[in-house]
Amino acid sequence: MLTIPVNTSKPYEVHIGSGILDTVGARIRALLPAARAMLVSDDIVAPLYGARVAKSLTDAGYVCDTFVFQSGEARKRLSTLEGVLERLAELHYTRSDIVVALGGGVVGDLAGFAAAVYARGIRYVQLPTTLLAAVDSSVGGKTAVDLAHGKNLCGAFHQPSAVFCDTDTLGTLTEHQIGDGLAEMLKYGIICDEALFEKVRNYQNETMASLIARCVEIKRDIVSEDEFDRGRRQLLNLGHTVGHAIEAASNFSMTHGHAVAAGMGVVARAAEAANLCESGTAQRVCDALDALGLPKGTTFGIETLAPLMLSDKKADGGSINLIVPRSVGDCTVLRKSKEDAAAFVARGL
């Protein structure tokens, strides 16, 4: 098992390896000697792993309760959050009890947010079961639900007490879901690690645990330096401003990782057209996206994307911070007025 310490305001560890789920209760108990554990999951993941995790928690001495909701981004809403909070209250959860999030990004974000606000904050553990959640959303303490006006607009920073990623759960993912995770992994390579970029592009299943660990290390380093997203953490948004606009324009029929992939392709082409990056960078990014079967652009025009980009929560007053590559392995933050940002992105479409 690989273990990565994360040194945020509340330090914790990320554990990555095979066969973790059956022993996760005892591992959590060693960290958090609580009475009750609320296992939050969705109706795809719960039938696959819920009983094993619940047994492990019960065997470790927790009273284990469950909250299962319908899978999908459409359920990452205040109404589902209210359901979790009411269940915690009905069962008299206190600050010494815990929440355990079992699932992908939607489950982790929602369960983490419930833990952030219930009783003004209780502890929680992330058990990511998708590649995207393993390399990104389970680490770093961003928790949220979506509002009608945008993704993740209602949330809190609340670090988990631990993350346990059982790589066996990746075996039940579809190729599309693996692609969502690979897009985020490629993102880390473009941001700051050219060797990782090449390894992700040519990944083999056998190397997945070490690639996940490298991505978590990069995220750990960035988040430890800028936990509350005021500076360097913005680099993690490479491809996201355009990606979120594509997701919204598609009515969320395009999944997050695929939209981020398309966003990275657009922004790399725009950076190259504006002479902001080493020649050939956009081609390298787009070739890697192609090799992984990911989109490298979108058919939505700038007139559709611009208003959605501008309502993204990363828009700040009259400006937008766009993350652009200078080369593969080196990215920078480009601050632009809303009008200039739209004109810049249009060059990459």
Nearer to ligand GLY, 131 or 236 (CB): 236
* DSSP string for 275-321: T-S-TTHHHHHHHHHHHTT-----S--HHHHHHHHHTSTTEETTEEE
Q: Are 77 and 57 within 8 A, CB to CB?
A: no
* DSSP string for 69-136: E--SGGG-SHHHHHHHHHHHHHTT--TTSEEEEEESHHHHHHHHHHHHHGGG--EEEEEE-SHHIIII
CB of 132 to ligand GLY, least distance (A): 10
Per CB under 6 A, residues contacting ligand GLY are 136, 140, 142, 229, 233, 236
CB of 269 to ligand GLY, least distance (A): 22
Distance CA 175, CA 292 (A): 10
Nearer to ligand GLY, 25 or 181 (CB): 181
CB of 246 to ligand GLY, least distance (A): 16
Nearer to ligand GLY, 136 or 312 (CB): 136
CB of 18 to ligand GLY, least distance (A): 25
Nearer to ligand GLY, 85 or 320 (CB): 320
CB of 141 to ligand GLY, least distance (A): 8
Distance CA 302, CA 242 (A): 10
Cross-strand partners of 65: 38
CB count within 10 Å of CB 205 equals 10
Interacting residues of 174 by C-beta distance below 8 A, sequence separation 6+: none
Nearer to ligand GLY, 239 or 348 (CB): 239
Nearer to ligand GLY, 22 or 229 (CB): 229
14: three-class secondary structure by DSSP: strand
CB of 229 to ligand GLY, least distance (A): 6
264-302: b (≥16 Cβ within 10 Å) or e = bbbbbbbbbeeebbeeebbebbbebbeebebbbbbebeb
Which two three-digit tokens encode residue 90? 């009905």
CB of 335 to ligand GLY, least distance (A): 18
Nearer to ligand GLY, 46 or 212 (CB): 212
Element holding 233 (H helix, E strand): none
Residue number, nearest CB to ligand GLY:
236
CB of 236 to ligand GLY, least distance (A): 4
Nearer to ligand GLY, 50 or 140 (CB): 140
